[in-house]
Structure formats: C-alpha cells, structure tokens
Amino acid sequence: MTQMTFARAINAGLRKSLENDPKVVLLGEDIGTLGGVFRVTDGLQKDFGKHRVVDTPLAESAIVGTAVGLAYRGYRPVVEIQFDGFIYPAFDQIVSQVAKLHYRTRGAVKMPITIRVPFGGGIGSPEHHSESPEAYFTHTSGLRVVTVSNPQDACTVIQQAISCDDPVIYFEPKRRYHDKADVDDAVDFRSAAPMDQARVLTEGTDVTLVAYGPLVKTALDAAAAAADEGISIQVIDLRSLAPVDYDTVVGSVRRTGRLVITHEAGQSGGLGAEVAASITERCFYHLEAAPVRVTGFDIPYPYSKLEMHHLPGLDRILDGVDRALGRPNSLSGLEG
Amino acid sequence: MRRLRAIVSTDGTGQGGTKAHNSAQGTHGPAHGLVQLITPSGERVSHPEFDFWVRDITDEQLCSLFEDMSVIRRIDVEATALQRQGELALWPPLLGQEAAQIGSGRSLRPDDFVFSSYRENGVAYCRGVDLTDLVRVWRGNASAGWDPYAVNMATPQIIIGAQTLHATGYAMGIQNDGADSVAVTYFGDGATSEGDVNEAMVFAASFQVPVVFFCTNNHWAISEPVRLQSHIQLADRATGFGIPSMRVDGNDVLAVMAATRVALDRARRGGGPTFIEAVSYRMGPHTTADDPTRYRDPNELEDWAAKDPISRAAALLDRKGLLTDELQQQVKDKADAVAREMRNGCTTMPDPRPLDVFKHVYSTPNSWLDRQQEHYARYLASFGDPAGATSEEGAR
C-alpha cells in the first residue's frame, strides 16, 4: 500500500499494463518526453521506449484512427486525448469506427482500445478544458464508458479497461488528479470488482444519491453534512456510465424510495435523464418522489470566474436532497 | 483519338533509392508527368525507370491480367444487373477502373493488408474474397462481407478517407513488429480533401511507416469534379507532406503494377510511405442510385471510353499475337462462370434472423443490451413464433 496521487495511480496502472502485455501501446500528444500535461504518463516512455509510448503529431482523429489500425494488427492501444474539449476532431473515428467495427465485421475484428480523457471542470481553465462530454459516448452503442473517483479505482480500472476486448472511454476527473490516497497497485484487476459495477459508498435509508467522477467526493461531503441534520443518504458511485449498473441503483432506491442524480454535464439529454427514466420504469411503485437531477446548466462551459455557479456543489446537491424529501427547498412553491 | 505520350517526370531530386532501379527518383517533386507503359492503342512503350519493375511479366501473365480485368468488369455488370432486378439495394460500379485495381491488387503479397473504400471490388477479387461476400453488404444481409483476417483486407470503408488512418496505424504495427509487409490504402480523388487523409499522410511521414496511399483519381466525387478538390495534381499534394509520389496512367495495367511495385519495395526496405495517383475515370454512376447525366458532359465519357483499360490490354495482346479466339473464349467462359456463381450466391443467401440484430455489438456481456434483447425476444415470442425469436448463436 502506497500513498499516491490520483494521477500517479493511473500512471501505476498504465505501467502494470505495459509490463503485462507487450501489445499495449500508448499514443497521445506530449505523453512521452513531457510525460503528459498532467504528468499521468510520466516516465513511461523512458522505461518502455518510443514505440510503446508514442508522442504523436497534433491530430486527434489520427491518434484514434491509427489506434484502430494498430488494433487491427493485434495491438491494444491506449489513447490520451489531452483535454475533454479536444476530443471532437476524433468524434468520427470513435463513433463510426472504434464503436462499430466489431459489429460491422460480425465479431471478426476486435477493438480493444482505451481512450483516456481528462474531463470536468473546477480548475480555472479557459474554454475547451473543462467539459463533460460523456453523454455523447454513452449514447453510442459499441462503446463502454467508465469514470473513476478515487486513486485505487484509477489504478485498477485503467487496467480493466485496457484488458477489455471492447473499446472503453475512460474519463479521468482532472480536478482530483492531485488528491492523495492509499493505493495498492498490486491488486489483481481480474479479481477486483468489475468496472461495470457501481459501488455503494455509504449506507443510507432516506435518499439514494447517485454521482460519478469528480462529484463523488462532493456527494460524500453532502452525505456527511446531511447526516448532521439527521438525513441518511446512500451514496452510489456509478463508475460505469455505459452500461449503468441499474441493479445496484434499483436495490438502493427500492429501500430509500428517493433518488437524486448529480453530474457536471448539462441536464438535457444527459446521463441523469437516462438514470431517472430507467429507475422510474423499474422502481415506479417504490418511489416516494420524482427523481431529482442536480446538474450543470445547458450552457457552454462558462469562464472560470463563473464556473462554480455551473458546477453542482455541496449546497446545490443538498437542495436537491431536500426536494426529493419534500422538505423546504429553493423551488418550493413552484409547480412542475 | 488523342494519344497520350509516355512522359515521366525526371526532375525529382530527393528520395533516391539505395539500389539501382529504385529509381523512382523521378517520383518525388512537383509537376508529375504521367507514367505510361501501354498507350491507348495498345502500344508497349519503353520507359527508362519503370520497365524494370515489370520486366518479369510474361505473356502468360499479361493474358492473366487481361482475364482478371475482364472478370471484374463482368462481376460489376452482373452486380449492377442484380441491383436493377431488385436483388441488391445498391451497388458502386468500378467500370473503367479495372486496370488501377488489378494492376495494384496483383502486385500485393498475401501478408500485405488492404484498407479500401467501397469501390475496390476488383482489389477484393485479387485478395480472394468469396464472390458471394462481395454482394453481402449491398443485399443488406450484413454490414461487412468478409472476415478481414481471412484475406488480409479490411472490409470496405464507407466514411470517405477514414481507412487511410487505419492503414497508417496498421503500418505502425508492422514497423513495431519488424515485419516487411505493407499496408495499402485505396481512396478516391474526393477523399484527398478529407482531414483524415491529410492527417494520415502527416503520421505516415512522421513515423516513416510502410504504407502505400493509392489514390484512384476517377475525376468525380459523385457530382463534384476533381478540380473542385484541388488546383494542383493530386500527386503533388503528397509532396507537401514529404511523401514521394507518382502519377500513373490508371488505365494502364502495367504502369499501375510498376508504380505499385516501386512503392511496395520502398516500404518493405524501410523507406516509408508512397503516394500513387492513378489517373482513371469513373465511367459509370457513383452508385446505382446516381444519375451522372445530370452533371457530366457525355463527350467526356466518350474521350475516356477511347482510353478503356480492357480494350487497351486487348490491343496490346493483339499486337503480340496473343489475343486468340481461344483466349477470348476462355476469358468469356471464366467471366460467365464467376458471374453465375456470384448471382447464385446472392439469390440463395439466407436471410439473417431477427435477434441477429443484437449480435456482436460487444464482445463481452453488456447489461443494457442483454436486457433489450431479452425484451425483444419476448415481444417476438408474443406473436407465437418462438422459432423466429431465437437465433442460433445468441447475442455474441
């Protein structure tokens, strides 16, 4: 067990994968000599060589498109998209090729590609550096989409993603990169909880609070604050966004009867909408109130001095909890 | 009839070969001439650089190339007929591009890997793709006709130019493996405007990987003429990326073969990528759904008919006394047999089963999709037809 930062934990997981499978190659901008703009790949090129940790020219579609070719050749590419807002030039290759080649070729061609994406806001960056584009990808069949919320998962799940024969988008909450925790990098990813399984973080009886990625920490803080007021919240870290582990969420909501979902991404057409709909379908007779979404607004990611208004914080989440509980809240008195 | 002269650029300065006949020195640099070894009237004209690369081609092999081109034209005609008869939903004809496809396709080794567009059915034929598999996609029975690894050819790409990146990535893999095979990617003149093709050239040049960019300039991207894509010759675009390029008569099967061999040889010896512009003409529509009379001057078609790749090969064989009645009968019989086999395979192809719609989306269990499949199976079963609701292999 070693104390390490979130970024270092991903680095440890990448190192394990590079050690265990000679077919694993890393591709991305600035990931070699520099070690990545967040230093997530620090030291890997030095130890594994320029052919396994490849500094690429600046072209996202090509980074993903050549990963497709490498996968055709039997490689297991791990691609870094430097920032969430830079992924769109690669959108076509991800959606039309990475996601569909297994289906297109009736299973003949596997696409074991992992696309690492630092995502989310809260770091005071200019435009295009703080986005949460996960819903584009959860809506694309053929992809698996996961997020991690803590260093141990970061280390384990990256290895699971790389070993998965299906393509995986691996979202890294960049504002948590410097959070530290004890990590056991010797954990065998094969015997750890599968990456498509959600995790119940706190036992609670009044409200189910679903979060993922950067907001898991905020959700836990909210649960602790609510406990002071005698409200018992069950926090679930969704981990996998496609597919969502509904069995775990359903199990919780059937006990609490109330659901709050929170994410940084905008509300409309977001993952919260999907979770709310699915849980309503499956738990309608157990629900005591309509599911509540506490999310970013349907706006372009704002300039940094306003970003804390956009990002759901502890108080906004608790306001949502109050709404789910029918307690006085900011929308009390409003219809619909 | 206007006769093309064999002109070869000799003004290149960079990219010399390490050996005598890696001459293609003239293949680097702007203002490419058109490499031609057979004139439209069937005259074999000598060429100081490119003759070397087809010096081993025997009369028998020439006859074989003629047969290949005739057979794929027959495949094309038969598939077009199948579409007109309602057996295929759509077909992208290659009429006029036979020399470009056979000349290059027959130059490849089995361990080379092809990433093509949807029009390279002649190349697929060279790779040994089953005739029925050629029409599987166009009948709507599958999204891809064959297992790429069985013939070392990816299934045709519909997104314009996307496959050039796959070829470049595959070539990065070849380079990592220390192998001497080559990734060959086919695309059209329109594709050269796509970002992916340009990015592929950047990556290929940067990493010096063994990839051949084979651009068939058939002059039309549906209704858009090549002059809308580029103000310079397409071969010259490669120069800006530092990639040696050639401009060959794409209706001349020998010239195409020579150019392809130059490119393959360079790639195998670690010399990196090459760009080939094969100048040809799409004599038919873009697909069977297209009507080129809305945008093309019929005189243009007439001009190109005079440069027809198969007539040209036949004229060469005739000059050499090889175009015997026996050969012509043999080629016709082969083409007819191939067409019959393809037609039969097409019309007797079993329909997919309803739950096949869920197959192969993922290679590992997926709770969302498994649930949707289960629900749809119940829905189908509710009509009292449980046989139709099940598939032989399940979801994966």
Rounded CA separation B354/B380 (Å): 9
Q: What is the distance between the alpha carbons of residues B47 and B37, in angstroms, rounded to a whole number? A: 7
Q: Do B256 and B310 share a domain, yes or no?
A: yes
B13, part of any domain? no
Tokens describing residue B67: 């047969």
- Provide the token pair at B235: 């071969």
Residue B369 contacts A, CB cutoff 8 Å: yes
Identify the domain boundary among B308, B330, B347: B347
Q: Which residue do the tokens 């309509």 mark?
A: A290
Q: Under an 8 A CB cutoff, do B162 and A244 touch?
A: no
Contact A28, A170 (CB under 8 A): no
Report d(CA B155, CA B143) in Å as an integer: 9
Question: Strand A199-200 to strand A233-237: parallel, antiparallel, or no bridges (unpaired)?
Answer: antiparallel
One domain for residues B328 and B360: no
Token code pair at residue B221? 């991207």
Q: Residue B172 and residue A166: Cβ atoms within 8 Å?
A: no
Indicate which residue of A51, A128, A129, A263 is catalytic: A129
Cβ(B199)–Cβ(B161) under 8 Å? no
Alpha-carbon span B392 to A33, nearest angstrom: 51
Per-residue pLDDT 10s for chain A (336 aa) are: 899 999 999 999 999 999 999 999 999 999 999 999 999 999 999 999 999 999 999 999 999 999 999 999 999 999 999 999 999 999 999 999 999 999 999 999 999 999 999 999 999 999 999 999 999 999 999 999 999 999 999 999 999 999 999 999 999 999 999 999 999 989 999 999 999 999 999 999 999 999 999 999 999 999 999 999 999 999 999 999 999 999 999 999 999 999 999 999 999 999 999 999 999 999 999 999 999 999 999 999 999 999 999 999 999 999 999 999 999 999 999 876
- A115: closest CA among A148, A150, A146? A146
Beta bridge mates, B144:
none
Closest CB from B166, B176, B367 relative to A243? B367
Angle, CA B83 vertex, CA B80 and CA B85 arms, to 5°: 115
pLDDT confidence tier of residue B385, bands split at 50, 70 and 90: low
Tokens of A143: 């992809």
One domain for residues B133 and B155: yes
The pLDDT value recorded for residue B387 is 53
B285 and B201 part of one domain: yes
Distance from CA of B199 to the nearest CA of A (A): 6
Active site residue B286: yes
B211 to each of A56, B32, B184, B208, how far by Cα in Å? 17, 21, 6, 9
Consecutive H or E run containing B221:
strand B220-221
- CB-CB contact of A155 with A9 (8 Å): yes
CATH number of the domain at B39, please.
Answer: 3.40.50.970
Of B347, B364, B379, which residue sits at a domain end? B347
Nearest Cα residue to B222 out of B281, B300, B280, B285: B285
Q: How far apart are CA B236 and CA B27, in angstroms?
A: 10
Among candidates A66, A103, A196 on the partner chain, residue whose Cβ is nearest the Cβ of B169 = A66
Per the prediction, chain B carries an average pLDDT of: 91
- A97 to B176: CB separation less than 8 angstroms, yes or no: no
Q: How far apart are CA A68 and CA B148, in angstroms?
A: 14
Do B292 and B369 fall into the same domain? no
Q: Is the peptide bond before A243 cis (omega within 30 degrees of 0)?
A: yes
**Residues B259 and B365 both lie in one domain:** no
Q: Residue A335's pLDDT is what? A: 74
3-class secondary-structure state, position B113: strand
Give the pairing of strands B113-115 and B183-188.
parallel
Spell out which residues of chain B touch residue A51, defining contact as CB-CB under 8 Å.
175-176
* A297's tokens: 């607004």
Interface contact B141, partner A, CB < 8 A? no
Cβ atoms of residues B235 and B32 within 8 Å: yes
Question: Does residue B265 lie in a domain region?
Answer: yes
Q: Which among B115, B130, B170, B392 is the top mutation candidate for probing chain A, defined by the most A β-carbons within 10 Å of its own β-carbon?
A: B170
Pick from A283-287, B149-153, B363-367: least confident: B363-367
Counted domains in chain B:
2
Is residue B304 located within the same domain as residue B378? Answer: no
Beta pairing, strands A114-119 & A76-80: parallel
**A296-to-A211, A215, A259, A300, A309 alpha-carbon distances in Å:** 13, 11, 17, 10, 9
Q: What is the pLDDT of residues A313-327, one digit of tens each?
A: 999 999 999 999 999
- Residue A289: C-alpha distances to residues A141, A206, A235, A283, B172 (Å): 31, 12, 18, 11, 55
- B159 contacts on A by Cβ (under 8 Å): 92, 96-97
- Do B308 and B383 belong to one domain? no
Residue B6 lies in a domain: no
Residues B148, B228, single domain; the answer is yes
- Contacts of residue B384, defined as CB under 8 A and 6 or more positions apart, other chains included, come to none
| Cα–Cα distance for residue pair B236/B31, rounded to 1 Å | 7
Structure tokens at A53: 């940790």
Distances (CA, A) of A223 to A67, B29, B245: 41, 68, 65
- What does the DSSP 8-state code read for residue A77? E
For residue B11, being part of any structural domain is answered with no
Three-state secondary-structure class, residue A84: helix
Which of A105, A139, A241, A271 best probes binding to B when mutated, by most B CB atoms within 10 angstroms? A105
Q: Is residue B4 part of a domain?
A: no
Q: Which of B236, B153, B232, B241 is nearest to B200 (CA)?
A: B241
- Asked if residue B394 has pLDDT above 50, the reply is no
In a domain, B175, yes or no: yes
pTM of the predicted protein model: 0.94
Considering only the beta carbons, identify the residue of B159, B168, B396 that sits closest to A66: B168
Restricting to B residues 215-274, those with a Cβ less than 8 Å away from any Cβ of A are none
Of the listed ranges B20-34, B133-147, B197-211, the one predicted with least confidence: B20-34
| Structural domain includes residue B211 | yes
Tell me how far apart the terminal alpha carbons of chain A are, to the nearest angstrom: 50
Please indicate, yes or no, whether residues B185 and B220 belong to a single structural domain of this protein. Answer: yes
Q: Which domain holds residue B325?
A: 18-347
Contact B334/A at CB under 8 A: no
Query: Is residue B5, in this structure, part of any structural domain at all?
Result: no
HEC string of A52-95 equals CEEECCCCHHHHHHHHHHHHHCCCEEEEECCCHHHCHHHHHHHH
Give the whole-number percent of chain B exceeding pLDDT 90.
Answer: 88
Same domain, B278 and B364: no
Q: What is the pLDDT of residues B112-130, one digit of tens each?
A: 999 999 999 999 999 999 9
d(CA B95, CA B294) in angstroms, rounded, equals: 19
Q: Note whether B338 and B363 are same-domain residues.
A: no
Instruction: Pick from B168, B176, B371, B392 the residue to mutate for testing the A interface (most A CBs within 10 Å).
Output: B176
Asked if A105 contacts B155 with a C-beta cutoff of 8 angstroms, the reply is yes
